[in-house]
Each structure stands twice: as structure tokens, then as C-alpha cells.
């Protein structure tokens, strides 16, 4: 069989550019191999990022709005977020210091970091110390079951309140 | 060649594509997309719309650290509408979890509030299943090797005959009871019923559950729910020998409802209790011990039976009430699961159909309280019922005075003796395996013909103390005993009896019992006897397992005290034909040595006061 193929391949009557059986097969093979190579490279790249990690979930529920009366400034240490309510306006401010990641504590004037003395005002803007950036605000929404949900994967600009 | 290469490369491409599709286009993404689409179309207010903004499919997980080892429950990845009341009529997996008052959910201002919030409790703590699973087959625990399939929902490749009975949400009560351990918690009626059955059907007599019972005959069930799935539990209750071939647990023939309650109760025994600390558990066991040593909850006893002594000539109505209460107790407490009473036969323990004839009420009372005080190797558990209950049961048993019919010795043997001694007379009767000492092999002519007729007839007439052989003299007359004996002699022993050699034996022990004599006897015993009779003289020496009949348990006080010195001298000096006991006179033991030995044996078998 290979002899027969060779004879066809060496046939001088065939002109260049014409699609021979050989060319077609070579083309098909290379598409197949190249395609699978692309897919495997792509899937390997996707695999690098874990689909789930075992930390605290980014979106979590904190309870009904009634549980936070006006004037509340409640820091949830485990979730590293501070829930602030003023009248009907609610917001969630991160309590992770933007300097080196300590947990900042709510103070009379805003927030204060115990590690290197960074200070933030009520809205999380830096008022002193080494912190380079203001504390981020997180998206606060109402889940269908009537509970407030904080989504730490979505930051919102400071001053964006959720109205009860 | 090139064609093959082209085909191969295309196959590789297709396989790659399939793997890629399988890995990156998950079912749960479709469920989530469907949920978001429908939720968006349902959203009425801006707030609702804002909540859905930017949501895209991803793995949702709850990490619960409050219950034992921390749990990762990804159930909400598919069941994403679980806490969305708008989806309460939707098809699974998007349907929201039902609200029920049974779970403590409350209706406040027309809106339901959950008592068990999913963020705090997760899912698998109640439902079981595999929290990390992202495919139905794994997440629900349908895989045979997953130990906790979703309770009452998923049956794996279980036995077809009771597979359907293992479905139903009532099975989840077993998991409620992990935290709600109160004895009569309202929301877990099946656990309470199972607990009550555990006592009323006498499971506790043989099985131990920490803090509840102390039985030692059967396996410890303290952690049985952790080790086994419900199908195994069901099978073990219904067919004890299905999983452990050597089990002698009786078949209790319970109704399906009772078995279900027992299975739910057993499934709730996981050894861990999330609601209490180890200190709480320790306190609970202390309290239990102080309350009374594993005493069973008393069955309601009418005042008339309370404290009525059965021995006194009681007024007839009271005696009848006692007996009928006793009958009720004996029926309810599943005595017939082991014993034979009338038509019901458990096939494990002796026939009680005419117990009133062969035993006295004192014996029965004492035997109820502690079976091993009278039959030292009995396997009957001490159930620890209340005294009035025992009195009532004794009263009932004492009323069973109908002797078995005696038409001819053969029939009598088949109806009564064969239960232990076997149809072939070889001692392998139906219940023989549960008796210790083992019933006598009547076909062993060497033994049977080496003993006098008088002695064998006496064993039949008066029974053998400390064993399960009852005194048949109270059931049949001497003439009938003679007939039975002749029947045994001709049918099973077969060899004709020859006159026995007269042996010179002392009637009573000539060696006076003294500390020195006992010490010498112990010395001889340790040198000569322990190989078979064991160091503790309990008949469990290293050679004993190869020997039938088994070496005698010399700590069986009832037995030892019932036999004469003369018989002990005979057995030791001249051996016991047809058994492994040899003639020790041939091995240099003198009458004085044997006297010391007997003093030693008598020293730890003091007669009861």
C-alpha cells in the first residue's frame, strides 16, 4: 500500500496548489492536533485559578435590617467588615487596613488601626498614619428572604448607601 | 498511514473537546443561570434588581464550623433558590426549602422566619450526603462507597425487599436527635418511640449504649449510627444473621413501623452530640449512675400488684391480676424472642411452657434478678426490671402448670428433651449452642454406661443444678422417667449396659478442710488441672477449646455444691469415661491429694446462706 502511495505522490503530472489526498490529510491532521493543543493550553490556564477556596465566603448574609438600629456601627471581625447604619442608610465598610492588612477597630472619629497607627474617618478616608488608600466599601443588597447580604467581591464607591 | 494519523488527531481533538466541555460547562451553571434569569424577571423593586446585578454562576459554599468537624456544603450551588420564598413551587433543584413549624420556623407579619438558618447550620448536618459534591450522584451520596447517603431520600444498591421502606423524610429525625437529645423531644416522635422500643423489646439487656444501657452480650451500639447506613440497621434488626453469620440475636418479628422507629433511633446513635460538650456528657453519665444502675423504665404497674408477695397465699383476684399483668409483661418484653412459651418459640433459650411445674417462685425471682447466681454460665441478661414487674412475671410463670403430654417416651423425648439434646441424641439440639455447660451427648456409650442407672435417673428426676437441665420428676412420674431412660438407652446409647466394677471410694472427704490443705490443693490444681480447667478453675483452660464435652466450670457453685464428695473422688481418681478427664490415680494422685483438691474447690464455692 505504501508503494502505491509513493507512486501517486511522485506523479509528475500533478501541479502545485492542487488539493491532493496527501495534502488534505496533512491539513486535517494538523487542524486536529493544533486544535487539541489549543484546547489543552487553554484548559490548563483555566485550571490554574481555583474554582473554590475554603476561606470565608465572599457573599454572606448578615441578618435582617431590623437587627441594625439607626446609629449602629458593628464590626464583624470574622468577616472583616463593619456594618454602619445611619437613619435608613446602610453601608458595609471593610475593616482590613490598606497598609499591611491588620483589622482596624471602630473609634469615635472613624476607624483606627492598632498596628501602625493609621487613622480613617467615618467614611474610611485616610486621616493619618501610613495607610496608602481609603478603606473600600462593599456592595450591600437585600436577599429575597429579607436579609441583608454583603458581597465582598464587589466594591462600590464610598458614599453609596443601601436604603432600607 | 496519513489517513490513520488524520483520524487519530481528530479523535484526540474530539476527546479534548469532550473533556473541556465536561470540565467547564457544568450543570450547576445552567441551574444558576436559570435561577438568575427567572429571578430577574420576577424582580419588582430596584433593590431586588440591584441584588441580582453582576451575579454570575459560581460555586456557592457554606462553611460550617459549629457542628463537629467543619463542614463544606456546596449544596446551594445547584439549590441556589433555597432561601428564596418566591421559588416555593418551582421544580427542583431551584425550589426553596419548605418552612415548617416542626422545624421551629415562625410566621412573622406574614413572612416566614427560619429557626435553622442555612448560613449557621449548613445542609448536611440534617440531610447527610456529600457536602462538597458538585454532581447530583456524588452530592446526594448515591455512590455506594459514600457512607452517608441523604437520609430518607437516597437508597443506594440496597436490598430490594426493604429498599422502599427506607425512604421518607421521617428518617431525618435521626439527625435532629443529634442535637435535640431530650428524651421526649416533641418533633422527633420516631426517635422517642425507638428509644422506648429499645427498652420494651429488651434490646438493652444485650446491647450497650453509652449512658443508656450496659448489656454486654451483643455489640456496643453507642456509635452504630455513625458506622452503618440505615439499610444495614434495618437488615440487622429484621434478620440478625444476615450480616453476622454467627449472631445469636433472636428474630423479634416486629412490625415495619416498629423496625422503622428502631432504625431511626439507632441511626441517631452517632457517639457525637453536637449540642453538648464532653463535660456535659460526663455529667450525664454520672447522673445516670446515681439514678440507678441501668434500671429500665418501669412499666406501669397497677396498685394491686405492687409489692404483693407471690409466696404468700394471695387473695385469688390479686393473684389473677398479677398473673395477667405478668403475661402482658412477658409478651410485651419479647421473652418469646429467645424462650419458648406455648406456640411461640425464639429458639435460643429453654422452654417456659410449663415453668410453674419445674421451678419455684423463689428460684424464678432470684434468677430474674441475677441469672448467673443460679446458672453460672447462662447468657440470659439481667434486665433490671422493677421488683413488682418481676413479681408479676413470676406469678405468670408459676401459673403455667400444664405438663406436656406423655403418650409414649419417644414422643416425650421429641417434644421436650430434643430441644437441647437433639433429635439424634447427640447433644446438638436447637438451643444447645447457647447453653453452657453443653447438653450431654447421649450417644456416647462410654460415658453413659460408666455411670450407674441410679445416677442417670437422678439427673433426669432432679435435674442438674447450675445447668439448664430441669427436674423432670416434677413433670412426669418415676415410671415415665424409667420409660424415657429405657428409650434413651435403646435408641441412642445402643450398647447394652454391663455390670459396673465396684470401686472403693470414700463417702465424705477424709481430709479435713484447713488452710494448709487448701494451699496444697491449690498447688496440685495449678500443676495438674489448669491445662483444661484453666487457672481460674472456670473450665476455660488452653486445651478446653479442643475438648467435647467441655471441661467442667469448677466455679459453678450451684453445681459443685449439689454433688457429693464421693462423686468428685470418683471423677478425679478414676476419670470420666467418654470425656477428656483422665484417671488421675494412674498419674500418681493419692486419695489424700484428691482430698486436698476437693477442699480447694469447695473453698471458693461456698453454699449460699
Shared-domain flag, residues B332 and B440: no
**Distance (Å, whole) CA B80 – CA B94:** 6
For B375, counting Cβ atoms within 10 Å of its Cβ (0-12 exposed, 13-18 middle, 19+ buried), the class is buried
From chain A, the residues in CB contact with B58 under 8 A are 51
Does residue A86 have a cis bond before it (omega within 30 degrees)?
no
Shared-domain flag, residues A22 and A63: no
Domain extent, residue A142, equals: 59-163
Shared-domain flag, residues A63 and A91: yes
Shared-domain flag, residues B444 and B528: no
Residue A142 covered by a domain: yes
CATH number at residue A118: 2.102.10.10
Contact A39 B1 (CB under 8 A): no
- What percent of chain B lies above the pLDDT cut of 70? 92
Does residue B549 have a cis bond before it (omega within 30 degrees)?
yes
Shared-domain flag, residues B329 and B377: yes
Give tens-digit pLDDT for B243-300: 888 888 888 888 999 999 999 999 999 876 665 555 666 666 666 665 544 444 444 3
pLDDT tier at B590, thresholds 50, 70, 90: very high
* DSSP 8-state assignment for residue A154: E
At A14 the pLDDT is 55
SS3 state of residue B560: helix
Shared-domain flag, residues A41 and A72: no
Give tens-digit pLDDT for B55-95: 888 888 888 887 777 889 999 999 999 988 889 888 989 99
Contact A144 B24 (CB under 8 A): no
**Distance (Å, whole) CA B347 – CA A105:** 74
* pLDDT at residue B497 is higher than 60: yes
Contact A36 B16 (CB under 8 A): yes
Q: Taking a C-beta distance cutoff of 8 angstroms, is the pair B301, B325 a contact?
A: yes
Contact B13 A57 (CB under 8 A): no
Shared-domain flag, residues A103 and A74: yes
Q: How far is A40 from chain B (nearest CA, A)?
A: 7
**What average pLDDT does range A10-37 have in this prediction?**
78
**Cα–chain center distance at A23:** 47
More confident residue, B215 or A82: A82
Contact A162 B61 (CB under 8 A): no
Shared-domain flag, residues B38 and B125: yes
For chain B, the average pLDDT equals 86
Give tens-digit pLDDT for B516-540: 999 999 999 999 999 999 999 999 9
**What average pLDDT does range B145-151 have in this prediction?**
92
Q: How far is A127 from chain B (nearest CA, A)?
A: 32
Cell of B334: 419479647
Shared-domain flag, residues B132 and B44: yes
- What percent of chain B lies above the pLDDT cut of 90? 49
Mutate to test the interface with A, among B20, B64, B87, B95 (most CBs of A within 10 A): B20
Give tens-digit pLDDT for B35-58: 999 988 888 888 788 878 878 888
Shared-domain flag, residues B126 and B174: no
* pLDDT at residue B301 is higher than 60: no
Shared-domain flag, residues A104 and A82: yes
Shared-domain flag, residues B56 and B133: yes
Shared-domain flag, residues A32 and A75: no
* pLDDT at residue A63 is higher than 80: yes
**Structural domain count, chain A:** 2
More confident residue, B182 or B30: B30
Shared-domain flag, residues B128 and B177: no
**Distance (Å, whole) CA B565 – CA B599:** 10
Mutate to test the interface with B, among A36, A51, A89 (most CBs of B within 10 A): A36
Give tens-digit pLDDT for B187-215: 899 999 999 899 888 888 889 888 788 88
* pLDDT at residue B307 is higher than 70: no
Shared-domain flag, residues B393 and B413: no
Contact A29 B2 (CB under 8 A): yes
* pLDDT at residue B151 is higher than 90: yes
Q: Which element (helix H / strand E) includes B368?
A: helix B361-369
- A128 to chain B, any CB pair closer than 8 A? The answer is no
- How many other CB atoms sit within 10 Å of the CB of residue B60? 19
Contact residues, chain B to chain A, C-beta under 8 Å: 1-3, 5-6, 8-13, 15-17, 19-20, 23-24, 39, 47-48, 50-51, 54, 58-63, 72, 74, 83-86, 111, 114, 117, 119
Residues 15-74 of A with CB under 8 A from B: 22, 25-26, 28-33, 35-36, 39-40, 42-43, 46, 51-52, 54, 56-57, 60-61
Shared-domain flag, residues A41 and A87: no
Residue B299 covered by a domain: no
**Structural domain count, chain B:** 5
Contact A144 B85 (CB under 8 A): yes
Shared-domain flag, residues A40 and A63: no
Residue B23 covered by a domain: no
**Distance (Å, whole) CA B457 – CA B288:** 50
Cell of B54: 453582576
**Beta strands A126-128 and A119-120: pairing type?**
antiparallel
Domain extent, residue B267, equals: 164-291
Length of chain A: 164
Give tens-digit pLDDT for B354-385: 999 999 889 999 999 999 889 989 989 888 88
Shared-domain flag, residues A72 and A105: yes
pTM over 0.90: no
Shared-domain flag, residues B560 and B590: yes
CATH number at residue B225: 1.10.760.10
Q: Taking a C-beta distance cutoff of 8 angstroms, is the pair A98, A111 a contact?
A: no
Residue A54 covered by a domain: no
**What average pLDDT does range B211-223 have in this prediction?**
85
Shared-domain flag, residues A63 and A110: yes
Shared-domain flag, residues B220 and B328: no
Q: Taking a C-beta distance cutoff of 8 angstroms, is the pair A163, A88 a contact?
A: yes
At B532 the pLDDT is 93
Residue A125 covered by a domain: yes
Q: How far is A117 from chain B (nearest CA, A)?
A: 33
Residue A41 covered by a domain: yes
Least confident of A12-21, B206-215, B465-474: A12-21
From chain B, the residues in CB contact with A156 under 8 A are none
Residue B208 covered by a domain: yes
Nearest residue in chain B measured CA to CA from A148: B51
Shared-domain flag, residues A118 and A84: yes
Mutate to test the interface with B, among A1, A6, A20, A29 (most CBs of B within 10 A): A29
Shared-domain flag, residues B548 and B571: yes
Residue A157 covered by a domain: yes
Q: Taking a C-beta distance cutoff of 8 angstroms, is the pair A21, B1 a contact?
A: no
For A77, counting Cβ atoms within 10 Å of its Cβ (0-12 exposed, 13-18 middle, 19+ buried), the class is exposed
When mean pLDDT is compared over B41-50, B322-331, B593-602, the highest value belongs to: B593-602
- Which residues share a beta bridge with A91? A84
Residue B535: CA count within 13 A, CB half-sphere = 1
Interface TM-score (ipTM) > 0.90: no
Q: Write down which residue in B398, B418, B443 finishes a domain.
A: B398
Shared-domain flag, residues A153 and A113: yes
Q: Write down which residue in B398, B432, B460 finishes a domain.
A: B398
Question: What proportions of chain B, in percent to the nearest 5, are helix, strand and coil?
Answer: 50, 5, 50
- How many other CB atoms sit within 10 Å of the CB of residue B79? 23
Phi and psi at residue B111, in whole multiples of 5°? -120, 140
Amino acid at each position: 500500500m505504501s508503494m502505491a502511495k509513493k507512486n501517486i505522490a511522485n506523479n509528475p503530472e500533478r501541479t502545485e496548489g492542487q488539493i491532493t489526498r496527501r495534502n488534505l490529510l496533512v491539513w486535517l491532521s494538523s487542524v486536529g492536533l493544533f486544535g487539541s493543543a489549543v484546547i489543552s493550553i487553554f484548559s490548563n490556564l483555566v485550571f490554574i485559578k481555583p474554582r473554590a477556596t475554603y476561606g470565608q465566603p465572599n457573599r454572606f448574609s448578615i441578618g435582617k435590617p431590623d437587627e441594625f438600629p439607626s446609629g449602629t456601627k458593628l464590626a464583624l471581625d470574622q468577616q472583616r467588615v463593619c456594618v454602619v447604619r445611619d437613619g435608613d442608610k446602610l453601608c458595609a465598610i471593610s475593616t482590613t487596613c490598606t497598609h499591611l492588612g491588620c483589622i482596624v477597630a471602630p473609634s469615635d472619629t472613624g476607624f483606627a488601626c492598632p498596628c501602625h497607627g493609621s487613622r480613617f474617618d467615618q467614611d474610611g478616608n485616610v486621616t493619618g498614619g501610613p495607610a496608602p488608600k481609603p478603606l473600600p466599601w462593599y456592595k450591600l443588597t437585600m436577599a429575597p428572604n429579607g436579609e441583608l447580604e454583603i458581597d465582598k467581591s464587589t466594591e462600590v464607591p464610598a458614599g453609596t448607601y443601601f436604603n432600607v | 498511514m496519513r489517513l490513520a494519523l488524520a483520524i487519530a488527531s481528530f479523535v484526540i481533538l474530539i476527546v479534548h473537546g469532550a473533556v473541556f466541555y465536561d470540565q467547564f460547562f457544568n450543570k450547576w451553571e445552567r441551574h444558576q443561570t436559570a435561577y438568575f434569569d427567572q429571578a430577574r424577571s420576577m424582580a419588582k423593586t430596584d433593590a431586588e434588581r440591584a441584588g441580582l446585578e453582576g451575579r454570575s454562576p459560581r460555586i456557592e459554599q457554606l462553611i460550617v464550623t459549629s457542628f463537629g468537624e467543619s463542614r463544606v456544603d456546596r449544596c446551594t450551588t445547584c439549590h441556589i433558590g433555597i432561601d428564596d420564598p418566591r421559588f416555593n413551587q418551582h421544580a427542583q433543584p431551584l425550589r426553596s426549602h419548605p418552612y415548617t413549624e416542626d422545624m421551629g420556623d415562625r410566621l412573622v407579619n406574614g413572612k416566614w422566619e427560619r429557626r435553622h438558618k442555612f448560613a449557621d447550620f449548613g445542609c448536611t448536618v440534617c440531610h447527610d450526603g456529600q457536602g462538597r459534591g458538585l454532581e447530583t450522584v456524588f452530592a446526594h451520596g448515591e455512590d455506594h462507597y459514600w457512607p452517608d447517603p441523604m437520609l430518607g431520600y437516597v437508597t443506594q444498591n440496597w436490598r430490594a425487599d426493604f429498599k422502599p421502606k427506607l425512604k421518607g423524610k421521617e428518617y431525618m429525625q435521626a439527625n435532629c436527635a443529634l442535637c435535640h437529645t431530650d428524651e421526649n423531644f416533641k418533633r422527633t416522635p420516631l426517635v422517642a418511640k425507638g428509644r422506648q422500643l429499645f427498652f420494651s423489646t429488651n434490646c438493652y439487656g444485650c446491647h450497650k449504649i453509652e449512658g443508656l444501657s450496659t448489656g454486654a452480650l451483643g455489640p456496643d451500639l453507642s456509635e452504630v449510627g455513625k458506622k452503618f447506613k440505615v439499610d444495614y440497621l434495618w437488615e440487622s434488626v429484621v434478620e440478625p444473621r444476615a450480616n453476622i453469620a454467627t449472631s445469636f440475636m433472636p428474630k423479634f418479628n416486629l412490625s415495619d413501623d416498629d423496625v422503622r422507629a428502631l432504625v431511626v433511633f439507632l441511626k441517631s446513635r452517632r457517639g457525637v452530640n453536637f449540642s453538648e460538650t464532653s463535660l456535659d456528657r460526663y455529667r450525664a453519665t454520672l447522673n445516670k449512675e446515681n439514678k440507678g444502675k441501668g434500671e429500665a423504665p418501669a412499666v406501669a404497674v397497677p396498685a394491686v400488684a405492687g409489692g404483693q408477695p407471690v409466696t404468700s397465699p394471695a387473695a385469688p383476684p390479686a393473684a389473677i391480676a398479677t398473673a395477667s399483668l405478668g403475661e402482658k409483661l412477658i409478651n410485651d418484653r419479647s421473652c418469646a424472642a429467645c424462650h419458648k412459651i406455648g406456640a411461640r418459640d425464639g429458639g435460643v433459650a429453654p422452654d417456659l411452657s410449663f415453668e410453674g411445674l419445674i421451678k419455684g417462685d423463689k428460684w424464678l425471682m432470684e434468677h430474674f434478678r441475677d441469672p448467673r447466681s443460679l446458672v453460672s454460665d447462662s447468657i440470659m441478661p439481667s434486665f433490671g426490671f422493677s421488683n413488682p414487674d418481676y413479681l408479676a412475671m413470676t406469678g405468670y410463670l408459676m401459673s403455667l402448670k400444664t405438663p406436656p403430654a406423655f403418650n409414649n417416651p419417644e414422643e416425650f423425648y421429641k417434644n421436650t428433651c430434643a430441644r437441647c439434646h437433639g433429635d439424634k441424641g447427640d447433644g446438638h439440639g436447637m438451643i444447645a449452642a447457647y447453653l453452657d455447660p453443653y447438653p450431654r451427648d447421649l450417644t456416647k456409650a462410654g460415658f453413659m454406661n460408666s455411670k450407674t442407672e441410679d445416677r442417670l435417673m437422678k439427673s433426669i428426676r432432679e435435674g442438674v443444678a447450675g445447668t439448664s437441665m430441669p427436674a423432670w420428676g416434677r413433670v412426669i412420674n418415676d415410671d415415665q422417667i424409667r420409660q424415657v431412660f429405657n428409650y434413651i438407652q435403646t435408641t441412642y446409647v445402643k450398647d447394652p449396659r454391663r455390670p459396673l466394677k465396684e470401686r472403693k471410694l470414700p463417702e465424705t472427704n477424709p481430709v479435713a478442710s484447713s488452710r494448709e490443705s487448701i494451699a496444697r490443693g491449690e498447688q496440685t490444681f495449678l500443676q495438674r488441672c489448669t491445662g483444661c480447667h484453666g487457672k481460674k478453675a472456670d473450665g476455660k483452660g488452653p486445651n478446653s477449646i479442643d475438648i467435647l464435652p467441655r471441661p467442667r466450670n469448677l466455679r459453678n457453685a450451684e453445681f459443685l455444691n449439689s454433688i457429693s464428695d464421693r462423686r468428685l473422688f470418683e471423677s478425679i481418681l478414676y476419670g470420666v469415661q467418654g470425656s477428656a478427664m483422665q484417671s488421675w490415680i494412674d498419674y500418681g494422685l493419692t486419695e489424700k491429694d484428691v482430698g486436698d483438691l476437693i477442699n480447694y474447690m469447695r473453698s471458693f464455692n461456698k453454699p449460699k446462706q
